[in-house]
Amino acid sequence: MTLVPERGPSRLIAAHSAVGDPARVAAMVIAVGGVVAIGGAWFAQYGLGLAPCSLCFEQRPPYYIAVPLGLLVALAAPRLPAWTSRAACVGLGLLMIWGGSIAAYHAGVEWHWWAGPDVCADGAAAPTTSAAELMTRLQTNPVVPCDVPSVVVLGLSMAGWNVLFSGGLALVALIGAVAPKRP
């Protein structure tokens, strides 16, 4: 009797059965997705020289939290009760919804559906005491408006793509939270 490696869909099903825990897989997908999202943002900022606005920066913290949490859940899931990994997936999903909501708000500002925060218009992160201080700050940290996308790909800005990406990761988290664990 010779063993022939499985091919096609049955191979994927066998691989999924070997992993067994959808919450663990979802947590790892979210962690990797968070690294991809943050890596893309950093590449745009430092590699391409695209200065992010204040709303761009606000979209990053959910990923900063989701990456280590997702890795922790993925690594610890075999030793945790099933409800713990499922609850962590719910938390990861809420993080992605939070990030997607900020991205949706930012995309709406870019489409001029509503006004953005004051800091987007004037860059007033901190009050200045003199005109010289204001000029120095503007020269070292130029104001980046939130309502003008720096890049548009296939009709969507980076904020628009982040809405879709965060939504996809939130869906992965939901599946990880409710899918039955395989033996």
Does residue 8 fall inside a structural domain? no
Residue in the block written with tokens 């006004």: 115
86 or 125, which is more confident? 86
pLDDT tens for each residue of 40-84? 989 988 988 888 888 888 899 999 999 999 999 888 877 888 788
Does residue 13 fall inside a structural domain? no
Residue 16 is predicted with a pLDDT of: 46
- Count the domains in the chain: 1
CATH number at residue 79: 1.20.1550
* Residue 153 φ/ψ, nearest 5 degrees: -125, 125
Whether pLDDT at 15 is above 50: no
- Predicted TM-score (pTM) of the model is 0.73
Q: How confident is the model at residue 149 (pLDDT cuts 50, 70, 90)?
A: confident
Beta bridge partners of 157: 152
Does residue 5 fall inside a structural domain? no
**Domain span holding position 84:** 21-115+127-178
Does residue 101 fall inside a structural domain? yes
Does residue 30 fall inside a structural domain? yes
Spatial separation of the C-alpha atoms in residues 72 and 74, rounded to whole Å:
6
Nearest residue to 177 via CA among 60, 96, 63, 90: 90
